[in-house]
Amino acid sequence: MATASDAILVLLAELDRSTQPPDAVEAFRQLLLQKMTDLMTEGERRVHFARHLLGLGTPRPMVRARLEVRYKVGRTQAYRDIEQALQLSLPNGTKERFTDTFQ
């Protein structure tokens, strides 16, 4: 079942093909991102934050530490969020797990 956040992600992906002026596209992108953030649960926010940091190349231990400080979660929950972020980044159908890399 698709969520509102999923629908917004689809719209964001489609914006790259827009023929509208770049400043209008960027303003709409910011509006969509704000709406998506408003709709997210706390867990979704943590996973989104982890995906962002991982996408920037931040090492997993640093992502874990930042999740712990920013969202006041424990080590285990932070690693669960990182694993979920990594799973979301895998191509569809891939069943690889990352728990063995957290040691």
pTM for this entry: 0.56
Per-residue confidence band for 97, with pLDDT thresholds at 50, 70 and 90: very low
Per the prediction, the chain carries an average pLDDT of 81
Strands, E assignment, the chain: none
- The predicted-structure confidence for 34-75, as pLDDT tens digits, reads as follows 887 777 788 888 998 999 999 999 999 999 999 999 999 999
Exposed / middle / buried, residue 87 (Cβ in 10 Å: 0-12, 13-18, 19+): middle
DSSP category for residue 20:
S
Helix (H, G, I), strand (E, B) or coil at 92: coil
Would you state the pLDDT for residue 93? 47
Length of the chain: 103
Question: In the chain, what is the straight-line distance between the N-terminal and C-terminal CA atoms, in Å?
Answer: 34
